[in-house]
Amino acid sequence: MLNIIENKPLSNLTTFQIGGAAKYFVEVKNEEEIREAILWAREHGEKFFVMGGGSNLLIPDEGFNGLVIHIVSSAFSFVERTLEADAGCNLLSLICAAAGEGLGGCEKLSGIPGSLGGAVRGNAGAFGSEIKDFVTWVQVLDTNTLEIHEFSNTECAFEYRTSHFKKHPELLILRVRVALGEPQKHLIDETIAEREKRHIQNVRAAGSYFMNPVASAAVVAKFESEKGMQSRGGRVPAGWLIEKAGMKGARVGGALSSTMHPNYLVNESGSAKASEVRELAEKIKKAVKDQFEVVLQEEAVVL
């Protein structure tokens, strides 16, 4: 029996800690409960939104006028060098659990906020590593037909910060199978320490707000010359562009472009509004476009 809650505040369920309440809210732990929640929304004429770990998400100040389905499943298991886990599992917790089993390989993803399902959907990555490098199988629920489908790594169509599932939001990730190798436990602490040094750990933010864009040859050359490193795929860091456009430390109300990592739009005061974050984002996009002829695109999901 589902426990449907009315007028549930959502801000404390997101890393941004911003946003209003859901008209209806329910926590689900398994495929059966997810199906039941979707059917409830249909029967009551309500739209629904499926929420995972609450990272990479900006909820409007007015909240969500429908049913928020919050996935809290956290079951996982190891078979030889393979991890199979529910989409709702916390990514860092899985990496640490794998290290405890003498398995690893994806330690550079340590500290990326949110769930495994969200990481797969957005092909999360950090420090040269991406989740696509480890995923072998994904099980999804088609929320339109309520049918189950399975995808191989190739069928997931992973690209930079996107996947088949991000392009087809009706496909809800249920479980993921990951191939692991030799552990490098020291990389977990080192990666988290590096994220803390860059002030991108334990802050009220949605992670990187913008994707690193493909830029012109001239902009790429300027970045490579200044930073002494090569561009990956013709992309340059959004944070570098934001700083060069004079928007590092820019503020709208309680929303701030971090002075440590400008691509982190931070709810500095704890009282920032979603409207302020969106206004700041638009100001940043305009400044970068005016100076570099580069259009920034949100990595964060703006509900």
Give the active site residues.
Answer: 161, 208, 299
Among candidates 211, 206, 264, 199, which has minimal Cα distance to 237? 211
Radius of gyration of the chain from its Cα atoms, rounded to whole angstroms: 19
Residue in this structure with the two tokens 């079951």, named with its chain if needed? 75
Contact partners, residue 160, CB within 8 Å, separation at least 6 = 123, 211, 212, 233, 235
Angle, vertex CA 210, rays to CA 153 and CA 121, nearest 5: 25
Measured between alpha carbons, how far is 73 from 264 in angstroms, rounded to an integer? 28
What letters, b where the CB count within 10 A reaches 16 and e where it falls short, cover 39-53? ebbeeeeeebbbbbb
What letters, b where the CB count within 10 A reaches 16 and e where it falls short, cover 202-235? ebbbbbbbbbbbebeeebbebbeeeeeeebeeee
Among candidates 173, 157, 161, 106, which has minimal Cα distance to 133? 106
The Cβ of residue 270 has, within 10 Å, a number of other Cβ atoms equal to 10
Tokens of 39: 């059917």
